[in-house]
Amino acid sequence: MFNFTESFLLFLFQVASGGLFALAATPFNELDRAFYKSTAGVLYVIGLFALWGKTRLYFSGPSIGEPLPTAEILIHALFMLAFTCYLLSLWGERQVFRARSFALALMSGLVGLILSSERFHQAPLFSFETLLLPISFFLSALLLGSVTVGMLLGHWYLIDTGQTLDPFVQIYRFFVFTLIAQCLLLALSPLILYFVGFPGTQKSLEATWEKHSTLVITRLLAGQVGPLILSFMIWRTLQIPHTMAATGLFYIALLGVFVGEILSRQILTLTALPF
């Protein structure tokens, strides 16, 4: 069993890093820079809490658990340093510096997710699990980031009432694509793990369904089924169009995704399986 604190800090890091990937999917030339200042500021605070918690774990004693690997701490610190540079660049006109710091934040965030996946990896290096965990962590980050940025972008339409609907539709499509991709992964990975996975993983799958089936079902209903239904409702609302109602639905979808992903971290803590 892993420490839930560590898996929850992973959740926070996924929101921050995935949020930057979602920002990369928005049209920079069509949205006011103030939107990026406010949205990046929210993601930055979340990432800062994640780094602070990981640093506490890194320097903690044996009572908390095994210290985090130095490489993971360093890459997360690099992510926040690059994020800091990007955030500061939004108040200036140095576009090359902004682009490079943003790209470095994206790359270091991706590497940080890969290193974090190694922390929960129990199968041999050459196994399906070695590939599955980073992909699962990355898709979770994209989903968390896209639903967060989508909700914040919807609130921006309450400020900039003359904004075209294209940016909202673009981030909505990014959210839906990520949600469908994660649903497909969650549907296929248990079957693949059961038939070609490490023997220890197969036992974990059986134990998970026997002991934690309610937790798994609740996670799927809250984090997958509910947001899928809401995504259809958001699309119908955007066709009216009614951005305020779509923003409210995005907020409910955010709650569902967040609850589902937090339950997923609990399952990861108990079983080391990326559900």
Q: Decide if pLDDT at 262 tops 90.
A: yes
Q: Would you state the pLDDT for residue 63?
A: 42
Which of 77, 69, 81 has the alpha carbon at shortest distance from 115?
69
Q: Are 216 and 257 in contact (CB under 8 A)?
A: no
Highest mean pLDDT among 69-73, 83-87, 195-199, 209-213: 83-87
Annotate 19-49 with b (16+ C-beta within 10 A) or e (fewer). Answer: bbbbbebbeeeebeeebbeebbeebbebbee
pLDDT tens, position by position, 204-233: 777 777 787 888 899 999 999 999 999 999
Q: Contact, 235 vs 172, CB < 8 A?
A: yes
Cα–Cα distance between 8 and 18 in angstroms, integer? 15
- Residue 1 is predicted with a pLDDT of 46
Is 90 exceeded by the pLDDT of residue 203?
A: no
Arithmetic mean of pLDDT over the chain:
87
- Does the pLDDT at position 234 exceed 50? yes
How large is the C-alpha radius of gyration of the chain?
19
Packing angle of the helix pair 243-271, 128-159 (nearest 10 deg)? 150
Which class is domain 4-271? mainly alpha
Cα pseudo-dihedral 270, 186, 144, 260, rounded to 10: -50
* Mean pLDDT of the region 61-71: 57
Is the pLDDT confidence value at 273 over 60?
A: yes
Asked if residue 64 has pLDDT above 60, the reply is: no
Nearest to 183 by CA among 257, 107, 93, 85: 257
- Give tens-digit pLDDT for 236-252: 998 888 888 989 999 99
> What mean pLDDT comes out for the span 109-124?
81
